[in-house]
Amino acid sequence: MRWSLTQLKKFSNESIAVNEKVQFKEITDRKDVLGLSGTSVEGEMHVGANRIGVALTIDTVVHMLDSRTSENIEVPLHIESYEEFDEEAEETDELDENVHPVTHTLDLEPVVRELIVVNLPNVVTESDEVPAGGSNWSVMTEDELADEEEQKVDPRLSKLKSLLESDNENKED
């Protein structure tokens, strides 16, 4: 996935098909990401005078730890992106996040790697099981929470609650 600019200039104002299979050894230092299956990178490269636009479609399967059970699960990723590589841009220029400066060679691997890392889910689970609870905490539904909050009345406000209840009884009569 690396081309020299002189090689690409031969296809000025034309489109070049990109169809690559990439195997990344490590993609990130996150502990919940165990690895990737083969990554498919497809797309089209449009070579212009000073800019090269690349429409990318990335498909891969990420092996991750389930957030609840810590079991190995497979998470499919499908990413579509349009990236531009500009010969006149400098590293110090403030560029849009999809515009990359390029000097002698156009290398898609770092861009593909970054797109995968950015699109990794933070929390992933295949389990429908709700955690049972732990010491000093438990899992409850929203209805149970609402009932519990209704029952808890600040002792300083208990007199006001009785006034509200008596006012409601007077309105009903």
Tell me the one-letter amino acid at 47: V
Q: Helix or strand or coil: residue 170?
A: helix
pLDDT digits (tens, 9 = 90+) for 36-74: 888 999 999 998 888 888 999 999 999 988 887 888 889
Tell me, what's the pLDDT at 135?
67
> Does residue 78 register a pLDDT over 90?
yes
- Distance between CA atoms of residues 77 and 118, nearest Å: 11
> Does residue 162 register a pLDDT over 70?
yes
For residue 161, what are the contacts with CB-CB under 8 A and spacing of at least 6?
A: 153
Tell me, what's the pLDDT at 55?
93
pTM: 0.67
| Cα within 13 Å of Cα(21), Cβ side | 3
> Does residue 144 register a pLDDT over 90?
no
- Distance between CA atoms of residues 147 and 145, nearest Å: 5
Tell me, what's the pLDDT at 42?
94
The string of DSSP codes covering 20-65 is: EEE--S-----TTEEEE--EEEEEEEEE-SSEEEEEEEEEEEEEEE
Query: Hey, which bits of the chain come out as E strands?
Result: 2-4, 15-22, 33-36, 39-47, 51-65, 72-86, 99-101, 105-107, 133-134, 137-138
What percent of the chain shows pLDDT beyond 90?
16
Tell me, what's the pLDDT at 82?
93
> Does residue 167 register a pLDDT over 80?
no
Q: Select, from the ranges 25-34, 89-98, 112-121, the one with the highest average predicted confidence (pLDDT).
A: 112-121
